Amino acid sequence: MKMPLKGIYILFLGVFFLLTISCRPSEKKTITQEQANSLIKQADGDLSEQNYLAALQGFESALVYYKNFQPNGSKVDELSAKIRQTKAMSLVSHFQAVENQNEDDADKQLLPKTLEAKDFRVLQLYGNPVLKRKWTDRKLQKSGEFVGKGRKFTLFLKDGVELFLDNKHHQTLRSCGPAGFTLWENSVTEISSGIYLISGKNLPAEGWFFSYPIGQFYLRADEAFAVMLETTTNGGCKIISLIGTTELIMDSGVRSIISPGELIFLMRDEFSVKMNIELSTFIGTSKLFSEFASPPPMHKKMRQQALIQALRTKKHYRALVGDAKTLDDFEVQILKEEDAFKDSGD
């Protein structure tokens, strides 16, 4: 059967038209710097209202502009951090929304504990911390057990646990009761209360995200690190660097870098001034070290860092730094008046 000449001509025009369209260069819509800044301002507002999708779209659109026209400027890093924070906050918000469902409905959705995923391994244990969420409730019984992502840990006064979270980055978390926390992902941790020893090596570029009662921050480190984290009575937290240099980045974009021996308080969106504490005293007295049968990862490096600090320090002030009500109001207790300070002789 022969196709009429007219049909062939129409078919040829149709193919040519399609080819013409497909071969036209794509037209990318560009924005101005003023528009990019307006997007950032709008996205900040969306983020404060917990409209995470809109905020993410705004930050990403603005990032495209700055990557193209100011690739080496500070805005690229700032927007990248905002995008990471938005994604992490969205994840935590999602899981919290699931947790806040009606208890009857939540109970129906719980999976049997026999099907629990093996995401995190228990390295050490004393007492019987309670696990909730996602799977039916259970108590940890021994070292070597596995725990799935999304579990909420409740530690009472005589409980303690050390967990291995990630093999690639050697992430570990140790806590003593009373404490409460949730491990949403390898690098997404929700801290409700308590004291923690956190360590790792060469964290992923986005860092390790932590939320605490009144705020959240990213911890970033390009080397081996260890820090102590403890919640305060006003919902903030304090952090002591034990090994390595770590960078802390808050929602507001404010950053702080802490080195071994430095203590800093975190409130809603600000840092306190940094103080120096004696590492040897902390390591020798903290229950994060004394209550467990075996020392934590990189314990030898911690002791070495404490020795280096002691050799460099000329004066020691015998005081305890406790809680913080505001960024300028710390609890500092002098142990003995006659031993307020001593000269090391160096």
Residue 85: Cβ within 10 Å count: 23
What tens digit of pLDDT does each residue of 154-208 get?
999 999 999 999 888 899 999 998 999 999 988 899 999 999 999 999 888 888 9
Confidence band, pLDDT 50/70/90 cuts, at residue 340: very low
Q: Is residue 152 within 8 Å of 159, Cβ to Cβ?
A: no
Tell me if 162 sits within 8 A of 123, measured CB to CB. yes
| Long-range contacts of residues 157-162, Cβ cutoff 8 Å, at least 24 apart | 158/126, 158/127, 159/126, 159/127, 159/128, 159/129, 160/124, 160/125, 160/126, 160/127, 160/129, 160/287, 160/291, 160/292, 161/122, 161/124, 161/125, 161/129, 162/122, 162/123, 162/124, 162/125, 162/292, 162/296
pLDDT of residue 65: 85
Segment among 67-76, 187-196, 211-220, 224-233 with least mean pLDDT = 67-76
Angle in degrees, CA 123, 127, 131, rounded to 5 = 75
Q: Could you tell me the pLDDT band of residue 326, with boundaries at 50, 70 and 90?
A: low
Mean pLDDT comparison of 26-30, 176-180, 317-321, highest-scoring range: 176-180
pLDDT at 6 over 90: no
Looking up tokens 């939540």, which residue turns up?
A: 106
Q: What angle do CA 101, 105, 109 make, to 5 degrees?
A: 105
Helix (H, G, I), strand (E, B) or coil at 29: coil
Residue-averaged pLDDT of the chain: 80
Give 19's pLDDT tier (boundaries 50, 70, 90).
very low
- 112 vs 91, higher pLDDT: 112
Give yes or no for a contact between 131 and 140, defined as CB atoms under 8 angstroms apart: yes
150: phi > 0 → left, psi -120 to 50 → alpha, else beta; which?
A: left
User: Could you give the CA distance from residue 336 to residue 333 in angstroms, rounded to a whole number?
Assistant: 9
List pLDDT tens digits, range 255-290.
999 999 999 999 888 899 898 888 888 888 899 999
Helices and strands (H, E) in the chain, number of each type: 8, 20
Residues 346, 343: Cα–Cα separation, whole Å? 8
pLDDT of residue 73: 78
pLDDT of 102 above 90? no
